[in-house]
Structure 1
Amino acid sequence: MPADEISRETRIAAPPQRVWDVVTRAEHVSRWFGDAGAEIDLRPSGLMRVRWAEHGTAVCRIEKVSPIDLFSFRWGREVDAEPEPGNSTLVEFRLFPDGDGTRLVVTESGFSTLDDTPEGRARYRDGNVEGWAHEVGKLVAYIATVDA
Structure 2
Amino acid sequence: MLTDDGGCFACGPRNAFGLHLEFRTVGDEYLTSFTPASHHQGFAGVVHGGILTTVLDEVMARFLWARSIPAVTAEIKVTLRQPARIGEPLTVSGRILRDARRLILCQAEARRADGTVVAAAEGKFVRVGPAPPGGA
Shorter-chain TM-score bucket reads 0.3 to 0.5
Q: TM-score, normalised by structure 2?
A: 0.37
Q: TM-score, normalised by structure 1?
A: 0.35
Larger relative helix fraction: 1
